[in-house]
Structure 1
């Protein structure tokens, strides 16, 4: 009987080893409790998380965050066979986040230089704003702190998404409080727009801009006040021209007359760290080409897609041979990052939906600039 029980215990242990990660060690710091496969990794992740929390707070907010009332648990699944990804959940009560829970996975290198800083940046924004950001701003800004190799992937995929008419008009993107069905273009375009704006005045200016847009719910006024554009449509057109010119930071105009923090572009998007995507939900993309942007940028200006229609206001249809190029696919649905807001005891959940691809169309909105419906099966009326 004892032998049978021992065999059953061994079999159960082997099943756990085969089917899931083993978290064997923990390490606690002032703001984090990290559980990882071994003590060395737990210590490294915990110390890096504290360092990112301090350094990135200074970059974005120009101040350090106070100590959280409760530490943020981080579960680390180190497995090079898994795509790098992460998810962070938390709730809000009286504009204060609580109930942190962070899960990160991938190779240890990608965890340390991309996933962890991205996720920690989400916690910084949650603490500063006291509520969920627009999806593009949250995910886009958090992607800017990732390793250069991860950011370059987003730049490359963005060109492909636009050529496929999967670009998101700014009047829709800036209003998104939920993830669209076609989620990957949101990440790529959100990152590009955040990068474009940050280069025009730095991270603190970007934070102030987002804060004003959230508080007033008038992004036209916010973009005029902080960046000098008359409206979102003008920002969109200049951003598209910048994409055609090659996405070079040195090719971005800077207008600091309407804001106080003057930061050189070279200092705002540093090629720092082999460590700074803390995507609250970080899609894992397979099939990435080695240099995707270089092969696509040259054709953007002459394409029959989104850019051409925005400039010429002609609702043409792009005919792409989708079978001729490798498509980015999500290898798995990322874990849910939930941001519950305790307002009148009514909770709100931010959840990425199952991704799907539908059809796109062209139309002109009431502001006079051409817009596109999102190429997904989600009804545009749900984007509020």
Structure 2
């Protein structure tokens, strides 16, 4: 999970605090994603982190605990709820985190899937450490197949390092959203969808900061073309772009009305997403489900047309970019405006520098 705060940029000389969210493994045999072990620093003090498939890196100088050190972290209080086993410094913290985890698991599943998740066969182990400095969260998944040969989530574990209040407000909901998506799809999702949707579970203030940041990144020419972003299953070198752009695209799509006449042709999808329904969160899940069938530019273009009526990924990109010409807002954005033709090289995966507003409209004085 990535997090950054506008106040942090000012207080720390444009330093950006952010953290990672998910490590993936398949059939209990994790593989290390490609990438340098110690990527260089990005601009404006951004630390470029490489995710681990076991426990993702943290934006701090402290190494992640493993083995005996990890077991030592469990010394403290433990609380067991139906789907979570929480280790925390105090009994109260353990009870509250478990309660909040169950609440978000249910609420986010209802919001995005339209139904609660079945109970997990193994509880998700959550280890919380109070950290008032560099903070973050990481969730590790193991996937397998059920007797019918369908992909399923087989286990999950989570680590949270944050202040107690901030963990409850943003870090925990973000990580729980990852578990909801992993439970539903039973497999690794493209990173923009997994991280972008997870960021929508964070606090309004955190989302506003992402909304500002995506405009700054696009203005700097650091945006990634959607034809490259949508199928992306590994974190790019410039990961802050993936988080900010993925969140922006997820919010944009979740705000749009759907076309979705094709959904009736897919029983497993159509039964979950009534053609006459206006549930835009579940429409986005349907878009991801259709796009990841082959996870190619062609499959994503077809999903964009079938669900949202865009003729191509490029047309979707134009509409999304047009929507960003409105100033950032803490209110969920309205549906994007009509696509604007652009003259871009289809072979170039970088969106050219844009001129998008990064400050909200001034609040008119009270009469």
TM-score range, shorter chain: 0.5 to 0.7
Unaligned runs of 5+ in 1: 1-15, 256-309, 315-362, 376-384
**Partner of 2:18 in structure 1?**
none
Deviations 1:170-190 (A, max 9, x none): 000011010011100000000
* Structure 2 portions without partners, runs of 5+: 1-67, 146-150, 258-279, 354-367
Tell me what 2:275 maps to. Answer: none
2:134 maps to which residue? 82
Residue 54 to residue 81, structure 1, CA distance change in 2 (3 Å): same
Per the alignment, residue 152 of structure 2 pairs with 96
Q: Write the deviation string for residues 145-196 of structure 1: whole angstroms up to 9, x where unpaired.
A: 1001111111121112112211000000011010011100000000000000
1:207 aligns with 2:285: yes
Query: Is 1:48 aligned to 2:100, yes or no?
Result: yes
Cα distance in 2, alignment partners of residues 121 and 231 from structure 1: 28
User: Structure 2: how far apart are the matches of 1:59 and 1:247?
Assistant: 24
Please tell me whether Structure 1 or Structure 2 has the larger radius of gyration of its CA atoms. 1
Q: What's the secondary structure of 1:372's corresponding residue?
A: coil
1:252 aligns to what? 335
- The answer (yes or no) to whether the contact 2:109–2:116 under 8 Å persists in 1 is yes
Counterpart Cα distance in 1 of 2:199 and 2:131: 21
* Alignment equivalent of 1:27, drawn from 79, 88, 91: 79
- In 2, the alpha carbon distance for the partners of 1:131 and 1:156 equals 31
Q: 1:198 aligns to what?
A: 254
1:310-329 equivalences in 2 (<5 Å): 312-313=342-343
Superposed CA offset, 1:331-350 (max 9, x none): xxxxxxxxxxxxxxxxxxxx
Structure 1 SS opposite 2:160: strand
1:228 maps onto 2:309 in alignment: yes
When normalised by structure 1's length, the TM-score is: 0.61
**What does the per-residue CA deviation read over 1:293-329, in whole Å, with 9 as the maximum and x for residues that have no partner?**
xxxxxxxxxxxxxxxxx96426xxxxxxxxxxxxxxx
In 1: Cα distance, 2:251 partner to 2:176 partner: 18
What is the alpha-carbon distance in structure 1 between the residues aligned to residue 351 and residue 236 of structure 2? 12
What is aligned with 1:69? Answer: 121
Partner-residue secondary structure (3-state), 1:215: coil
> For the Cα contact (< 8 Å) 1:79–1:106, is it kept in 2?
yes
**Counterpart contact for 2:323–2:336, Cα < 8 Å:** no
Q: What is the alpha-carbon distance in structure 2 between the residues aligned to residue 33 and residue 203 of structure 1?
A: 29
Per-residue deviation, 1:251: 3.5
Contact 2:252 2:334 in 1 (8 A): no
* Distance of aligned partners of 1:187 and 1:99 in 2 relative to their CA distance in 1, 3 Å threshold: same
Q: Distance in 2 between matches of 1:162 and 1:173?
A: 14
User: 2:188 — aligned with what?
Assistant: 132
Change (3 A) 1:29 1:88: same
Q: TM-score, normalization: structure 2?
A: 0.64
Q: How many angstroms does 1:33 deviate by?
A: 0.2
| Contact 2:83-2:120 within 8 A present in 1 as well | yes
How far apart, in 2, do the equivalents of 1:238 and 1:373 lie? 14
